[in-house]
Structure 1
Amino acid sequence: MADLSLRPRRPASGLGRHQPRQGRGGQARSVPVPQVGGLTILALVVARILWRTFNPPPPEVSEPAGLALIARVSHWLLYAVFLLMPVSGFLLSAFNGSTTQFFYLFPIPGFEKSEAIRNLFQSVHLAGQWAVYALVLLHIAGTVWHVAIRRDGVLDRMLPQQKPLIRG
Structure 2
Amino acid sequence: MSARVPSRHPRPLIWLHWLTLLLVLAAVVVALSREWIDSRDLRALLLDAHRQIGLVVFGLTLVRLFWRGRGEHAFATDADGVHRWLVRGSHASFYLLLATLPVLGLLASQARGQAVHLLGLPLPTLLARNRDLAEQITEIHEWSAWSLLALAAGHAAAALWHHYIRGDDTLRRMLPSLRIR
Shift of 1:61: 4.1
- One-letter identity of the residue aligned with 2:154: L
Residue matched to 2:33 = 11
Shift of 1:10: 2.2
Mapped contact 1:147–1:153 kept (Cα < 8 A): yes
Mapping 1:14-163, distance limit 5 Å:
17-19=43-45, 32-58=48-74, 60-104=76-120, 106-110=121-125, 111-158=127-174
TM-score, normalised to structure 2, is 0.68
In 2: Cα distance, 1:129 partner to 1:51 partner: 24
3-state SS of 2:117 partner:
strand
Shift of 1:68: 1.5
Query: For residues 94-123 of structure 1, what are the alpha-carbon distances to aligned partners after superposition, in whole Å with 9 as ceiling and x for unaligned?
Result: 11111112111x112544210121112111
Question: What is the Cα-based RMSD across aligned positions, in Å?
Answer: 2.8
In 2: Cα distance, 1:10 partner to 1:131 partner: 15
Relative contact order: is structure 1 or structure 2 higher (C-alpha 8 Å, sep ≥ 6)? 2
Mapped contact 1:17–1:33 kept (Cα < 8 A): no
Where structure 1 has 5 or more consecutive residues not aligned to the other structure, the ranges are 1-7, 20-29, 163-168
Mapped contact 2:54–2:102 kept (Cα < 8 A): yes
In 1: Cα distance, 2:177 partner to 2:149 partner: 30
Judged with a 3 Å threshold, the aligned counterparts in structure 2 of structure 1 residues 121 and 59 are, in CA distance, closer, same or farther, namely: closer
The structure whose residues are more often helix, as a share, is: 2
- One-letter identity of the residue aligned with 2:110: A
In 2: Cα distance, 1:10 partner to 1:62 partner: 40
In 2: Cα distance, 1:121 partner to 1:142 partner: 31
Mapped contact 1:17–1:34 kept (Cα < 8 A): no
Judged with a 3 Å threshold, the aligned counterparts in structure 2 of structure 1 residues 112 and 11 are, in CA distance, closer, same or farther, namely: same
- Structure number, greater radius of gyration: 1
Q: How many residue pairs get matched?
A: 143
Judged with a 3 Å threshold, the aligned counterparts in structure 2 of structure 1 residues 117 and 129 are, in CA distance, closer, same or farther, namely: same
Where structure 2 has 5 or more consecutive residues not aligned to the other structure, the ranges are 1-28
Shift of 1:158: 4.0
Shift of 1:156: 3.6
